[in-house]
């Protein structure tokens, strides 16, 4: 079952612990949703996001 969440509708004190619990159960694969990029790869991060390669590109600054 997929369920969408619109920003502002979740209560962080409830939502974040629920995500952590789902991850602990192996039911929420954070690693498939995010991808780390060096700051120098900012253009690749943007391209990958637009192409659907990753849902959440994360830029690492300074190491």
In a domain, 40, yes or no: yes
In a domain, 17, yes or no: yes
In a domain, 2, yes or no: no
In a domain, 5, yes or no: no
Q: What are phi and psi of 42, to 5 degrees?
A: -55, -40
In a domain, 51, yes or no: yes
Domain count, the chain: 1
Mean of pLDDT values over 30-58: 93
Range of the domain at 25: 12-60
Q: Give the pLDDT confidence score for residue 21 in this predicted structure.
A: 96
Q: How many CB atoms lie within 10 A of CB 44?
A: 14
In a domain, 38, yes or no: yes
Q: Distance (Å, rounded) from C-alpha 45 to C-alpha 12?
A: 27
In a domain, 6, yes or no: no
pLDDT tens digit sequence for 2-42: 555 556 677 878 888 998 999 999 999 888 889 999 999 99
Q: Give the pLDDT confidence score for residue 48 in this predicted structure.
A: 95
Token code pair at residue 51: 């192409």
DSSP 25: T
Q: Give the pLDDT confidence score for residue 41 in this predicted structure.
A: 97
Q: What is the pTM of this model?
A: 0.63
């Amino acid at each position: 079952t997929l369920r969408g969440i619109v920003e502002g509708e979740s209560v962080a004190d409830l939502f974040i612990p629920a995500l952590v619990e789902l991850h602990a159960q192996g039911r929420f694969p954070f690693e498939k949703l995010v991808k780390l990029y060096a700051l120098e790869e900012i253009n690749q991060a943007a391209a990958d996001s637009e192409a659907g390669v990753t849902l959440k590109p994360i830029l690492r600054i300074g190491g």
